[in-house]
């Protein structure tokens, strides 16, 4: 079922918020205002924004690298995201995990894991809980993570157990600077679903409506008890990590080509369909601007942690 | 007092916790059916709790470790069986990087209440891939608790504590102990994590140990009593975080220390304990600290060769005699 006009505008606003967030993160990193390891999801915004309109608030979300977009799309604490990037005490993990360990369990979102592929096993564990609680799991990772053994182990286990999990692959064709033709056998990741007797599909991962339609279909089947499904979204990431920005041009405007930029593409689509008007667009962009400004102010007002903060929080039950 | 085998006491502890909390579940390779795992620890559990709570899996240790972390993070209490301790290498990332860091790195917001049970069996002919010892690996894992019982009583009390604990626990069982019988009360009890136990009081020398080593130490103590040497046996029970107060107290009393453990000597548990004593109790010592531990050799598939690398009661006796000379 196609999203309503209101839902589409919501997806568009989420995509813009992700884009704005990630660009600001890159800008502040370059200026040296924030530091650490960060993995932008620039170019992949359609996937988190579309999925967030498909899964329910009660469902669980588990991602690996490049989870920042999913964190934002899920509606996790946005102010705490910026405090985290600034390494402040009001960060969502008190400034400990940084951008690659974003997690907001008030939203059932483990949207960071820095060991590529480990999210598959963790998501599968969440699947056992989801089965018991009557909800489902959305598990996300790049195509690079599907070459880890744990991907196979997890999908096999989930299929045998008929766990309610939607496995989503963000196929951006890059593992560092390696491309799939050098590293990955087979044309598509989705065909691996056949091996587990589960349904799989590849969609254009820069096309909001294509992602939304297939994800909604799979989610409905999973809720009906089909067991896990595998959705491959073919996209492109604009850059690897903030410390390796060589492939991100100084002028991001250059990236805004309709077949390459999911945000511009969706904006164009919404305008053609008469869903997005100039005044609505201005209002949405103002919403995003204000949200970012508010979060930046919040982050900068938050104290830096004491250097010994957390050394007594290694165990939840000290002995 | 009721007498029970170690394996039965351990199982009873898990059954009690599964009855008490519907979020506790078992998962592992061939843990169901009538046999219940290669050592029969989970025997009969599937019959009582069903396939949704006693979950059979493929040979997929990596996924099992991940499943434990994910299930724990989202609110259940998984108990995973990894068939042999030497296979714990296959879940080091899940235990050390994922489970061990989760509570801290989430800003103290996501506890990880999981138990990974496994079995060390170094005194059997099964080669290096089945008979290794990874105890020390998990002693070097902040955020993880390493629990190793030596008696039926402790096995039951500690598995119950481990399942209720909100932090990840690696629970090492030593296979020679499964058939050991001992006192296990009918009424419910818990053995707290982090507390050592004096298994035998003595005044001349302390043997610090855990797991199967406790029984070598107790045997040595009995032997040496005939020679007028009084041996105290300190069973760590929890290896990480270990009971520093108990060690300080015993060392202050006896002034001599032997540390015995089945794992590899170099960089093993004994290295940490000896370093701790050197740092904090050196003025109490009247003799060097001795370690009685496995040789730094992969375990061979040959009874005669195993004799050459493993340790037992006699080695503990020899070490104590050396200290008392």
Active site residue ranges of B = 130
- Determine, for residues B106 and A108 on separate chains, whether the beta-carbon distance falls below 8 Å: no
pLDDT tens digit string along A260-288? 899 999 999 999 999 999 999 999 999 99
Per-residue pLDDT for A211 more than 90? yes
Q: pLDDT-derived band of residue A176, with 50, 70 and 90 as boundaries?
A: confident
Q: What pLDDT score was predicted for residue A242?
A: 78
DSSP assignment of A131-155, as one string? HHHT--EEEEEEGGGGGSHHHHHHH
Torsion of CA B177, B178, B179, B181, to 10 degrees: 70
Across A188-212, average pLDDT: 97
Write out pLDDT tens, residues B7-19.
Answer: 999 999 999 999 9
- Chain B residue numbers with beta carbons less than 8 Å from the beta carbon of A313 are 103-104, 107-108
Contacts of A315 in chain B (CB under 8 A): 103, 143, 145, 167, 241
Residue A260: its pLDDT value, please? 80
- Ranges of chain B whose pLDDT falls below 70: none
pLDDT at position A257 is 72
- Residue B122: what pLDDT? 74
Rg (CA), chain A: 19
Closest partner residue to B75 (CB to CB) among A94, A127, A129 is A129
A 3-22 residues with CB < 8 A to B: none
| pLDDT tens-digit series, residues A73-100 | 999 999 999 999 999 999 999 999 999 9
* Chain A partners within 8 Å of B165 (Cβ): 317
Q: What pLDDT, on the 0 to 100 scale, is given for residue A246? A: 66
Which residues on A lie below 8 Å from B194 (Cβ)?
Answer: 319
Is residue A37 less than 8 Å (CB to CB) from chain B? no
Question: What is the rounded CA–CA span in Å between residue B125 and residue B61?
Answer: 23
| Closest by Cβ to A125, choosing from B23, B66, B108 | B66
- Which of A122, A151, A156 to probe by mutation at the B interface, max B CB count within 10 Å? A122
Question: Residues 260 to 319 of B: which have CB under 8 A from any A CB?
Answer: none
At residue A249 the predicted structure's pLDDT band, cuts being 50, 70 and 90, is: low
Check for a shared fold between B3-183 and B197-324. yes
pLDDT at residue A235 greater than cutoff 90: yes
Topology at the third CATH level for domain B3-183: Rossmann fold (3.40.50)
- Res. A319: pLDDT tops 90: no
Q: Report how far residue A94's alpha carbon sits from residue B209's, in angstroms, rounded to the nearest whole number.
A: 39
What is the crossing angle of helices B269-280 and B244-254, to 10°? 70
Taking CA atoms, what residue in A is nearest to B62?
A: A150
Q: 177-196 in B: which are within 8 Å (CB) of A?
A: 192-195
Q: Grade residue A253 by pLDDT with cuts at 50, 70 and 90.
A: low
Q: Write the class of the CATH domain A5-241+258-301.
A: alpha beta
Cβ within 8 Å of A, B 21-50: 23, 25, 27
Q: Which residues in chain A are contacts of B238 at CB distance < 8 A?
A: 319
Reply yes or no on domain B197-324 having CATH 3.40.50.720: no
What's the ipTM?
0.96
Backbone angles phi, psi at A11, to 5 degrees: -65, -45
Calculate mean pLDDT across residues A175-188: 92
Contacts for A226 with CB less than 8 Å, ≥ 6 apart:
A162, A198, A199
A-B contacts (CB, under 8 Å)? 150
Nearest to A121 among B62, B75, B195 (CB): B62
Between chains, do A314 and B104 touch, taking CB under 8 Å as contact? Answer: yes
Q: Where are the domains of chain B?
A: 3-183, 197-324
pLDDT at A136 over 80: yes
A100 CB-near residues (< 8 Å, 6+ apart): A37, A38, A39, A65, A67, A112, A113, A114
């Amino acid at each position: 079922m196609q999203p309503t006009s209101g839902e589409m505008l919501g997806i568009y606003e989420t995509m813009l918020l992700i884009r704005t967030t990630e660009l600001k993160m890159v800008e502040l990193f370059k200026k040296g205002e924030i530091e650490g390891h960060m993995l932008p999801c620039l170019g992949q915004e359609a996937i988190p924004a579309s999925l967030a309109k498909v899964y329910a608030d009660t469902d669980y979300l588990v991602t690996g690298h490049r989870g920042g977009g999913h964190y934002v799309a899920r509606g996790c604490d946005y102010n705490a995201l910026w405090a985290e990037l600034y390494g402040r005490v009001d960060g969502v993990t008190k400034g400990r995990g940084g951008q690659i360990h974003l997690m907001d369990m008030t939203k059932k979102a483990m949207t960071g894991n820095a060991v590529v592929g480990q999210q598959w096993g963790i998501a599968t564990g969440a699947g056992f809980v989801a089965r018991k609680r009557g909800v489902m799991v959305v598990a996300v990772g790049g195509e690079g993570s599907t070459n880890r053994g744990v991907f196979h182990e997890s999908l096999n286990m989930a299929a045998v157990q008929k766990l309610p999990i939607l496995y989503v692959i963000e196929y951006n064709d890059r593992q560092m600077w390696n491309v799939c033709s050098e590293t990955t056998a087979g044309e598509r990741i989705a065909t691996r679903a056949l091996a587990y007797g589960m349904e799989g599909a590849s969609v254009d991962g820069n096309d909001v409506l294509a992602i939304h339609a297939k994800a909604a279909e799979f989610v409905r089947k999973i809720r009906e008890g089909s067991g896990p499904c595998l959705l491959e979204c073919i996209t492109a990431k604009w850059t690897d990590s903030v410390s390796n920005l060589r492939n991100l041009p100084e002028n991001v405007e250059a990236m805004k080509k309709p077949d390459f930029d999911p945000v511009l593409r969706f904006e164009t689509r919404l305008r053609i369909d008469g869903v997005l008007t100039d005044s609505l667009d201005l209002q949405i962009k103002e919403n995003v601007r204000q949200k970012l400004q508010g979060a930046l102010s919040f982050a900068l007002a938050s104290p830096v942690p004491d250097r010994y903060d957390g050394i007594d929080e290694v165990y939840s039950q000290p002995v | 007092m009721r007498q029970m085998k170690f394996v039965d006491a351990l199982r009873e502890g898990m059954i009690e916790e599964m009855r008490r909390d519907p979020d506790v579940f078992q998962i592992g390779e061939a843990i169901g059916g009538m046999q219940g795992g290669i050592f029969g620890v989970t025997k009969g559990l599937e019959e009582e709790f069903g396939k949704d709570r006693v979950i059979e899996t493929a040979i997929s240790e990596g996924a099992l470790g991940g499943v434990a972390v994910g299930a724990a993070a989202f609110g259940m209490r998984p108990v995973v069986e990894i068939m042999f301790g030497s296979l714990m290498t296959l879940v080091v990332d899940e235990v050390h990087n994922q489970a061990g860091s989760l509570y801290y790195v989430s800003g103290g917001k996501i506890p990880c209440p999981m138990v990974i049970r496994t079995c060390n069996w170094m005194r059997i002919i099964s080669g290096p891939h089945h008979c290794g010892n990874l105890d020390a690996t998990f002693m070097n894992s902040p955020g993880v608790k390493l629990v190793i019982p030596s008696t039926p009583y402790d096995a039951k009390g500690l598995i119950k504590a481990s399942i209720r604990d909100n932090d990840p626990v690696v629970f090492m069982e030593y296979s020679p102990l499964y058939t050991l019988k001992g006192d296990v009360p009918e009424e419910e009890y818990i053995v707290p994590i982090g507390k050592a136990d004096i298994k035998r009081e003595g005044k001349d020398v302390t043997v610090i140990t855990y797991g199967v080593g406790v029984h070598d130490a107790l045997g040595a103590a009995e032997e040496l009593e005939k020679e007028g040497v009084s041996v105290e046996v300190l069973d760590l029970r929890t290896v990480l975080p270990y009971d520093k107060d108990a060690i300080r107290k015993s060392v202050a009393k006896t002034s001599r220390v032997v540390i015995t453990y089945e794992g590899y000597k170099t960089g093993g548990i004994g290295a940490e304990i000896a370093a701790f004593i050197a740092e904090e109790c050196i003025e109490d010592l009247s003799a060097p600290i001795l370690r009685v531990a496995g040789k730094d050799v992969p375990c061979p598939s040959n009874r005669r060769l195993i004799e050459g690398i493993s340790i037992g009661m006699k080695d503990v006796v020899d070490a104590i005699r050396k200290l008392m000379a």
